[in-house]
Copies of this chain bind each other. A is one copy, B any other.
């Protein structure tokens, strides 16, 4: 079968290779992959930042979708041909996260999805909503579930709440879609008016161009009746945190998800205190959360936003595109092309 291998850290470490189709062991399944998608985690992995000690070569990409093509011994409840997506954390079935549950990530700690086939534990795949294409299903494991956990599981957004999204990357657009699905009022930021217009078409109630409005936090507060928003889905990580606090209402939530603008920053701890802010670190979610999200997606016939599709062979192009940023929504890989 065809695979992409990361042979050493960096773009040049990505090479096309051939491997035999793997055989599923006890409790495992073989998945014939059709689509995959990229996340910032894949960039961090590529650069050796996510896991400096990772074993190379490794097939990259945590997120893939396709159909069950083989069942190992002892597997029940799945049948050949079932359309499934991978899970980011194969061991996180349900409940609260632990160090153990947050390990064994495909594409980093085990072979991932840039391949014709992948072997995964049977409980590390989930059936996907019928109305989604394989490419769309492949956008769910990391970005969609991260957004779902931030908006639904942790912040428990309800109708009428105000939610602030940063930029128009994969996580932010899923968070926008979920927040709208729940009846929330949404504000989204971008440096591009064209992207803001597209976000508005997706349901964003208010838009802020953070280039022309550097104090976007203050502006978001004004747009929230002066009270502030209930939730900021913080994907910047540090460079944006202070402005996020300015947007927040007393007792509001900040989902700390991304590291787009840095991994550490001077944070006004006293303001976190006085605002009674709830800052919650989030890395994806459990398989049970994934199943609940899929029900929501199926009921609403919600469609993921794919900004760009690349074929199997263009690994370096895809990573470079992801690194440059600027895409709208997700970057997907058509593994059949």
Within 8 A of B (CB), among A286-330: 286, 288, 292-300
Within 8 A of B (CB), among A238-288: 238, 241, 250-251, 256-259, 262-283, 286, 288
8 nearest A-B residue pairs (beta carbon): A94-B95, A160-B296, A160-B295, A159-B296, A263-B270, A267-B267, A273-B281, A279-B279
Shortest distance from the beta carbon of A10 to any chain B beta carbon, whole Å: 21
Q: Decide yes or no: A183 and B296 within 8 Å by CB, A74-B26, A269-B264 being known contacts.
A: yes
Residue A11 interfacial (CB < 8 Å):
no
Do the beta carbons of B273 and A257 come within 8 Å of each other?
A: yes
Shortest distance from the beta carbon of A215 to any chain B beta carbon, whole Å: 19
Q: Report the stretch among A96-104, A108-116, A135-143 that lies at the interface.
A: A96-104
Question: Chain B contacts of A161 at CB under 8 A?
Answer: 295
Do the beta carbons of A274 and B270 come within 8 Å of each other?
A: no
- Cα A102 to Cα B251 with chains together (Å): 11
Question: Chain B contacts of A2 at CB under 8 A?
Answer: none
Question: Chain B contacts of A158 at CB under 8 A?
Answer: 152, 156, 182, 292, 296
Do the beta carbons of B270 and A237 come within 8 Å of each other?
A: yes
Question: Chain B contacts of A258 at CB under 8 A?
Answer: 273
Residue A185 interfacial (CB < 8 Å):
yes
Within 8 A of B (CB), among A79-124: 93-99, 102
